Amino acid sequence: MKLRYLRNVATLRLSAERCIGCGRCTEVCPHRVFDVSEKRARIVDRDGCMECGACAKNCPANAITVSAGVGCAAALIKGWLSGSKPSCDCSCDEGCC
């Protein structure tokens, strides 16, 4: 069974005018959100997007925007409580030294 998260929330946007059809986005996307045909990329599964930001970062034409971040509730709540930006460093809880 395929795991799917909430619908209609992803901030991923693709500018068709800027796209040069290089296909880098299809190479890096871990959830097969893009498809390239006739030298143009298009978003085929926006709800599959987890906003990791790999596509936007690697797009040489700057055709993709997404407000990237880590989808972690614990980090968000910690950020709200401490008034800081959410940061996923739960790995440091036990003190690394």
Partner 1 sequence: MSNEKPCCCSAGGCCSTEPTESAELITPYDKDDRWVTGEIQTPRGSVPVVSTKLGFTDVLGAWKVRWGIGRMSYRINPGLYAIGKPDHASPVLVSANYKLTFDALRKELSGLDCWVLILDTKGINVWCAAGKGTFGTDELVYRISRTGLSEVVSHRRLVLPQLGAPGVRAHEVTKQTGFSVIYGPVRAKDIKAFLASGCRATEEMRTVKFTAWNRLVLTPVEFVAAAKTSMAVFGVMFLLNLFAARPFGLADFIAYTGAVVTGTVIAPLLLPVIPGRAFAWKGWLLGLLWTLGFAWYSGWFASGPLPLAIGYLFALPSLSAYLAMNFTGSSTYTSLSGVIKETRTAVPLIALSSIVGIVLVLIASLRA
Residue identified by tokens 């800081």 is 84
Q: Is 76 in the site for partner 1 (CB under 8 A)?
A: yes
Token duo for residue 1: 């069974």
The C-alpha atoms of residue 27 and residue 38 are separated, in whole angstroms, by: 17
Q: Kindly state the DSSP code that residue 60 receives in the 8-state scheme.
A: T
Smallest separation, CB 41 to partner 1 (Å) = 15
Q: Is 83 in the site for partner 1 (CB under 8 A)?
A: no
Smallest separation, CB 50 to partner 1 (Å) = 5
In angstroms, the first-to-last Cα distance of the chain is 41
Contact residues: partner 1, CB under 8 A? 1-7, 9-11, 24, 26-32, 48-54, 57-58, 60, 67-77, 85-97
